[in-house]
Structure 1
Amino acid sequence: MRRTALTALCATALTGALVLTGCSDSDDGGISVSGAYMPQPVSDMAAGFLTIVNDSGTADQLTSVTSDDGEVTMHETNSGAMAEVSRFSVPAHGQLVFKSGANHLMFDKLKHKPKQGQTVTVELHFAESDPVVVKMPVKSATYVPKTGH
């Protein structure tokens, strides 16, 4: 009798885990952001870096970035040449990385020069997902994020 109760308990727990797994694989969003920062600007222009993670089963596109602190454009760097782009793909179950020397955000006509320790707020706009508001901490101009996460 005790073994039967244990088997039933295990079966119930396994069924519950499977139901939860099914629920977490929904396609209604799944966009998150990590590692956001802005090196302290030395002029009215600055760069911004972050990682966008898409945990959903549907690919999306980053279509624009806005900020009350200034104009924001998206750029890619290929073979050392920087070019403005109108959108970036964010693959299903994948990520879009903005880092120094590669894809990045450019802030132009900053209303004020943010200083180390302050934050700059941006809003990321997507083709499919709801907008995401991100507070980017301002780091030293020479800040290099740790790798391997």
Structure 2
Amino acid sequence: MKRFAPRYKRFAAPAAAALTGALVLAGCGSGSGPAELSVSAAYMPQPFSDSMAAGFLTITNQGGAKDELTSVTSDLAGSVTVHETVSGAMQEVDSLDVPAHGRLVLASGGNHLMFEKLKRKPTQGEKVTLKLHFAESGTVEVEMPVESATYTPKTGH
């Protein structure tokens, strides 16, 4: 019987370690929960154009599941489009990912919102209401202040 004991110990430790690793990985997935979204640093520079404006904000996801910004609506504009900037080139996209435990930053020179076919030109000091539509989290309403055309946020956007 002693002859098998060393073999058992030799295989038991790696098996226990593998089982522990599998449980730890399973725990990561089972406790992930849904997306938990919040919006900060929202602003619109006062537009120069009568027909178009840009919007910037940060969406933070403290949840364990990713979500997706699928569209944006606002009474101010005929349409609001989501744009991605890759290597300096801007292109309209259908959606942008909000990673689990991460952020989606819409900032000047990067990904951003375009308010098109403005119904009126917003002025500094005003607040523009918009609705962010997400694949999993539904709709989040945001009040976006209109800042000066040269505004640079302290957060680095």
Under TM normalisation by the shorter chain, which class is it?
Answer: 0.7 to 0.9
* Cα deviation code 1:44-97 (max 9, x no counterpart): 100000000111111111100111111100001112211000000100111100
Distance in 2 of aligned mates of 1:136 and 1:50? 9
The secondary structure found in structure 1 opposite 2:97 is: strand
Question: How high is the TM-score relative to the length of structure 1?
Answer: 0.80
Opposite residue 45 of structure 2, the aligned amino acid is P
* Cα deviation code 1:118-144 (max 9, x no counterpart): 011110001100210000000000000
Q: Which has the larger radius of gyration?
A: 2
Opposite residue 46 of structure 1, the aligned amino acid is A
* Cα deviation code 1:9-62 (max 9, x no counterpart): xxxxxxxxxxxxxxxx77344110000000001111000000001111111111
1:124-135 counterparts in 2 under 5 A? 124-135=132-143
Q: 1:47 aligns with which of 47, 50, 54?
A: 54
Structure 1, unaligned runs of 5 or more:
1-24
Asked whether 1:38 is paired with 2:47, we answer: no
Distance in 1 of aligned mates of 2:54 and 2:143? 14
Determine the structure 1 residue equivalent to 2:74. Answer: 67
* Cα deviation code 1:85-118 (max 9, x no counterpart): 0000100111100000000000001100000000
The secondary structure found in structure 1 opposite 2:119 is: coil
Opposite residue 141 of structure 1, the aligned amino acid is A
Determine the structure 2 residue equivalent to 1:139. Answer: 147
Q: Which portions of structure 1, spanning 4 or more consecutive aligned residues, are displaced by more than 4 angstroms?
A: none
Structure 2, unaligned runs of 5 or more:
1-30
Q: 1:107 aligns with which of 89, 104, 115?
A: 115
Determine the structure 2 residue equivalent to 1:27. Answer: 33
Q: Percent identity?
A: 66
Opposite residue 56 of structure 1, the aligned amino acid is G
